[in-house]
């Protein structure tokens, strides 16, 4: 199986879906001649032409609205946001139009559109360009929200998102674009709404998504050396949450640690904890722990940036807390 970078897997998914369906097109800032700010659309302008790979001006609200209108009349737009930080300017189109068209039209209108781009910390980009905003979008009915961690999942979930008849929000960890992994060739579709056990374990469940998966894996490898078997559940989809998979892993290990890059208050992890405590409370041997970004705006300095985010050491400390091995 070929090994691709995350960005290459996304590029492959875009190309395959555009070959498969002439209604699919890509629009965003610098997606054409510049090949995308993170080179996800490398070579697509030459392959598909300027009618389907469209360079937009710096006007997130404007080209998001253009995409919504195109979806309403039967096209399948993919709207690339240079970062989800900039997409804050497009929230009105995403939330008040894309998310609500099917409901407000009594099912007469569909909105098959994908909004995608990088989220989370990028590396010394400070507070306005380092936000993990997936919880904001997971809040709204009418949207599906996905956040794949691996190149294979990125390819498979983008293809699913493009084929979905509902608006899909796709978060791509900004530091994941150069991550490599095996990616199936050709038709590889990962269903939206299905979590994945990335590592089997029996002592504790680490539930996470996107870039935090890699910190969870580092933590699990270190814990294994201490005789602690950690299971890692990669949610992959944040709306709808895969409740069945969440409850299955908790009932298996009886302990859970939730890891998310975003802030703690009203985070996705809080909803995961709610599912566990309301439907599997009697299965727990310890209170659920959360590891989140610190409740501050991101600093520019590298040492403060690192201190702000979850890492393997913080996950290990949380795991030992649910195992009552603090200080071990």
E strand residue ranges, 237-309: 237-239, 256-263, 289-293
Taking CA atoms, 234 is separated from 116, 147, 231, in Å, by 19, 10, 10
Distance of alpha carbon 216 from alpha carbon 259, whole angstroms: 8
Catalytic residue among 129, 172, 217, 231: 129
Q: How far is CA 241 from the centre of its chain?
A: 12
Length of the chain: 328
Catalytic residue among 17, 60, 217, 231: 60
Taking CA atoms, 259 is separated from 141, 180, 211, 231, 233, in Å, by 24, 22, 10, 13, 10
Asked if residue 4 lies in contact with residue 12, where contact means CB atoms within 8 angstroms, the answer is yes
Residue in the block written with tokens 């890699």: 214
> Known catalytic residue: 305?
no
Helix ranges restricted to H, 91-150: 91, 101-104, 134-138
Distance of alpha carbon 289 from alpha carbon 9, whole angstroms: 33
Distance of alpha carbon 237 from alpha carbon 149, whole angstroms: 11
Helix ranges restricted to H, 164-267: 212-225, 243-253
Distance of alpha carbon 172 from alpha carbon 125, whole angstroms: 16
Burial environment of residue 1 by CB neighbours within 10 A (0 to 12, 13 to 18, 19 or more): exposed
Handedness of CA 159, 120, 183, 214 (dihedral sign): negative
> Known catalytic residue: 60?
yes
Please count the helices (runs of H) and the strands (runs of E) in the chain: 12, 14
Asked if residue 10 lies in contact with residue 43, where contact means CB atoms within 8 angstroms, the answer is no
Return the active site residues: 60, 129
């Amino acid at each position: 199986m070929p090994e691709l970078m995350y960005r290459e897997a996304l590029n492959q998914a875009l190309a395959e879906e555009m070959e498969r369906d002439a209604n699919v097109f890509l629009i965003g800032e610098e997606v054409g001649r510049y090949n995308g700010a993170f080179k996800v659309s490398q070579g697509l302008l030459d392959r598909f032409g300027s009618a389907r790979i469209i360079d937009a001006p710096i006007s997130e609200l404007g080209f998001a609205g253009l995409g919504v209108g195109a979806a309403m009349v039967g096209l399948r737009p993919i709207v690339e946001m240079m970062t989800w930080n900039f997409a804050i300017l497009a929230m009105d189109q995403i939330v008040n139009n894309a998310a609500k068209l099917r409901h407000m039209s009594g099912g007469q209108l569909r909105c098959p559109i994908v909004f995608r781009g990088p989220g989370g910390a990028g590396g010394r980009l400070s507070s306005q360009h380092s936000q993990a905003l997936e919880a904001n979008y997971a809040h709204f009915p009418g949207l599906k929200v996905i956040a794949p961690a691996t190149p294979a999942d990125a390819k498979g979930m983008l293809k699913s998102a493009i084929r979905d008849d509902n608006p899909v929000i796709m978060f791509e960890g900004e530091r994941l674009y150069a991550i490599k992994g095996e990616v199936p060739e050709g038709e590889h579709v990962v269903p939206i709404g299905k979590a994945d056990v990335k590592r089997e374990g029996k002592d504790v469940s680490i539930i996470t998504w996107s870039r935090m998966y890699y910190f969870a894996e580092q933590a699990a490898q270190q814990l294994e050396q201490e005789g602690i078997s950690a299971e890692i559940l990669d949610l992959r989809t944040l709306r709808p949450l895969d409740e069945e998979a969440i409850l299955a892993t908790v009932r298996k290990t009886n302990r859970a640690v939730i890891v998310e890059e975003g802030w703690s208050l009203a985070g996705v992890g809080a909803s995961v904890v709610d599912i566990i405590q309301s439907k599997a409370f009697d299965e727990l041997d310890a209170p659920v722990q959360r590891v989140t970004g610190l409740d501050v705006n991101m600093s520019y300095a590298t040492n403060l940036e690192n201190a702000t985010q979850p890492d393997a050491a913080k996950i290990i400390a949380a795991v030992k807390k649910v195992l009552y091995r603090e200080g071990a």
